[in-house]
């Protein structure tokens, strides 16, 4: 899956049980391999629902979600998920070292420390780990270790998603706790990878998605506009308002 082609949504709708309105309504769009896409829209617009569909955690109520022309179903969900790196808004840290948290799921003796550090550098957290943590990458974090701030955890989460070198990166408000300068550095580092990876980035701040190839503007479950940043700024007054 995702060898050469694209992710596509065809007439896709999603209804939560007992909800009066669909959370997503008749979506049609494609994401080409190696492109970056920003998803914006106010709270409740359906952004996380869309991400959960992409992750294979939800199934469409109507229409289709396809990767390389194959419908994602029980048979291929696992295979699809292996190509994904996902950064949720809240990063869960386990009671283990920083290295183990970045290479989550890899037995200690198999951790590729140079890959850990490379990913931490891209996520703009390498200097913090070396300079501010007493035992560097071996510092214990989690419930019984050092407490990290929201922004530090987010950057560990980004390094964790990068560690497996996924083909597709999905960020759900993954940089929301970072200051503007750090966020910009993270986005720039990630964008350098973007010619080979597909990047799907959800954000409230338009600055986060400014350089995405395509921005999808969702409102109440519907795509109300899409295009690159400049196009949307020029033609869409609601989008312009978000930029202020």
Question: Could you list the residues that contact ligand DUT (CB under 6 A)?
Answer: 16, 19, 23, 41, 43-49
Say whether residue 48 binds Mg ion (CB under 5 A): yes
Q: Quick count: other Cβ atoms within 10 Å of Cβ 146?
A: 15
> Minimum CB separation from ligand DUT for residue 96, in Å?
29
Q: Between 58 and 133, whose beta carbon lies closer to Mg ion? A: 58
Q: Which does 34 bind (CB under 5 to 8 A by kind): Mg ion, ligand DUT, none?
A: none
Rounded to 5 degrees, what are φ and ψ at 146? -65, 140
Q: Quick count: other Cβ atoms within 10 Å of Cβ 196?
A: 10
Nearest one of 50, 64, 162 to 116, comparing CA atoms: 162
> Minimum CB separation from ligand DUT for residue 19, in Å?
4
Q: Between 162 and 232, whose beta carbon lies closer to ligand DUT? A: 232
Instruction: Record the tokens describing residue 81, joined without a space.
Output: 């998920």
> Minimum CB separation from ligand DUT for residue 121, in Å?
29
Contact between residue 7 and residue 177 where contact means Cβ atoms under 8 Å apart: no
Calpha distance 215→228 (Å, rounded): 6
Q: Which does 25 bind (CB under 5 to 8 A by kind): ligand DUT, Mg ion, none?
A: none
Mapping DSSP to helix (H, G, I), strand (E, B) and coil, where does residue 14 land? strand
| Segment contacting Mg ion by CB under 5 A, of 45-53, 78-86, 93-101, 229-237 | 45-53
> Minimum CB separation from ligand DUT for residue 180, in Å?
20
Contact between residue 93 and residue 141 where contact means Cβ atoms under 8 Å apart: yes
Instruction: Record the tokens describing residue 2, joined without a space.
Output: 């995702």
Q: Which does 72 bind (CB under 5 to 8 A by kind): ligand DUT, Mg ion, none?
A: none
> Minimum CB separation from Mg ion for residue 202, in Å?
7
Q: Between 135 and 150, whose beta carbon lies closer to ligand DUT? A: 150
Calpha distance 88→243 (Å, rounded): 23
> Minimum CB separation from ligand DUT for residue 157, in Å?
16
Q: Which does 103 bind (CB under 5 to 8 A by kind): Mg ion, ligand DUT, none?
A: none
Nearest one of 23, 73, 17, 11 to 51, comparing CA atoms: 23
The residue ranges that bind Mg ion (CB under 5 A) are 47-48
């Amino acid at each position: 899956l995702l060898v050469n082609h694209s992710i596509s949504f065809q007439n896709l709708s999603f209804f939560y049980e007992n909800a009066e309105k669909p959370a997503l309504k008749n979506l049609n769009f494609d994401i080409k391999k190696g492109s970056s896409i920003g998803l914006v829209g106010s709270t409740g617009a359906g952004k996380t629902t869309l991400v959960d569909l992409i992750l294979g955690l939800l199934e469409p109520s109507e229409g289709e979600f396809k990767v390389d022309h194959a419908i994602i179903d029980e048979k291929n969900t696992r295979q699809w998920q292996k190509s994904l790196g996902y950064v949720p808004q809240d990063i869960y840290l386990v009671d283990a070292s920083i290295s183990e948290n970045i290479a989550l799921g890899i037995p200690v003796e198999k951790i590729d420390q140079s890959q850990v550090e490379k990913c931490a550098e891209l996520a703009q957290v390498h200097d913090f780990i070396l300079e501010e943590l007493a035992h560097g990458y071996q510092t214990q974090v989690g419930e019984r270790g050092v407490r990290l701030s929201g922004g530090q955890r987010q950057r560990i989460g980004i390094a964790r998603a990068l560690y497996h070198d996924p083909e597709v990166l999905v960020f759900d408000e993954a940089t929301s706790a970072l200051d503007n300068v750090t966020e910009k550095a993270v986005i720039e580092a990630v964008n350098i990878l973007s010619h080979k990876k597909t990047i799907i980035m959800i954000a409230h701040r338009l600055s986060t998605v400014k350089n995405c190839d395509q921005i999808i503007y969702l409102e109440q479950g519907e795509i109300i506009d899409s295009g690159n940043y400049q196009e949307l700024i020029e033609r869409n007054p609601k989008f312009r308002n978000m930029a202020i």
